[in-house]
Structure 1
Amino acid sequence: MNLNISGHHLDLTPPLREYVKEKLKRVERHFDHLISAEIILTVEKLQQKAEATIHASGANLHAAAVAEDMYAAIDMLSDKLDQQTRKHKEKLRDHHNHEAHKRMAVQ
């Protein structure tokens, strides 16, 4: 997966960059058809904001999180992305519809 991390009004330190990469590994574990991800970390007054757009096969996922601490915002962002990727993966599987077709064919 191509990963692009940028910071607005923020010095992007190596530990912060590594923390983002580590958190996105969890998302990659659940759904391996990710093409690219763009992460934007922003500081505005007292708010720390983390935004992400992930391009996956069949969908573009977007999430944002705001907190007083940048690491907390990244944690919330990764949770939201993880939930979206699991939901997208379930839509691709669509087990329920397949079982309904089997029952109709038997009758």
Structure 2
Amino acid sequence: MEVDITGRHFQITPALRDYATGKIQRLEKYSLKLESVHVIFEVEKFRHISEITVLGKGLRTKAKEESTDMYAAFDKSLGNLQVQLGRLHERSKDHKIHDGGTGHEIQS
């Protein structure tokens, strides 16, 4: 899984990059064949905004949150994303593939 981290209007610290990368790696537990994750950190005056976009096979989902602290904004957006991925994971587990048969055995 490829992880891209972008900072808008501020310099990303190595501590923030390591924190985000470590948390993002935990998304692999949903086994949804995730291909890439793009994290955008943005600062506008006193607002710290975190946006996470996940791309996978047949999947594109996004979560965006803001707070007065960048770590808090990231944790909120990651929490929202985990809820979305959890729903998708449950749907994929509940989806049953049928063989297209009628359900009756052939009697001879």
TM-score with structure 1 length normalisation?
Answer: 0.83
Partner of 1:102: none
The percentage of aligned residue pairs carrying the same residue is 34
Root-mean-square deviation (CA, aligned residues, Å) is 1.7
Q: Where does the alignment leave 5 or more consecutive residues of structure 1 unmatched?
A: 99-104
Deviation at 1:91, TM superposition (A): 1.6
1:21 aligned to 2:27? no
Residues 1-107 of structure 1: matches in 2 within 5 Å? 1-94=1-94, 98=96
Aligned residues of 1:26 and 1:82 also touching (Cα < 8 A):
no
Structure 1 residues 61, 30: CA separation in 2 closer, same or farther (over 3 Å shift)? same
Aligned residues: 99
Bigger radius of gyration among the two: 2
Q: Which has the higher helix share?
A: 1
Aligned residues of 1:37 and 1:52 also touching (Cα < 8 A):
yes
TM-score with structure 2 length normalisation?
Answer: 0.83
Deviation at 1:26, TM superposition (A): 2.2
Q: Where does the alignment leave 5 or more consecutive residues of structure 2 unmatched?
A: 97-102
Residues 80-107 of structure 1: CA deviation (Å, up to 9, x unaligned): 1111111111121225xx4xxxxxx59x
- The 2-side partners of 1:31 and 1:42 are apart by 29
Residues 4-26 of structure 1: CA deviation (Å, up to 9, x unaligned): 10000111111010010111122
Which residue identity lines up with residue 2 of structure 2 in the other structure?
A: N
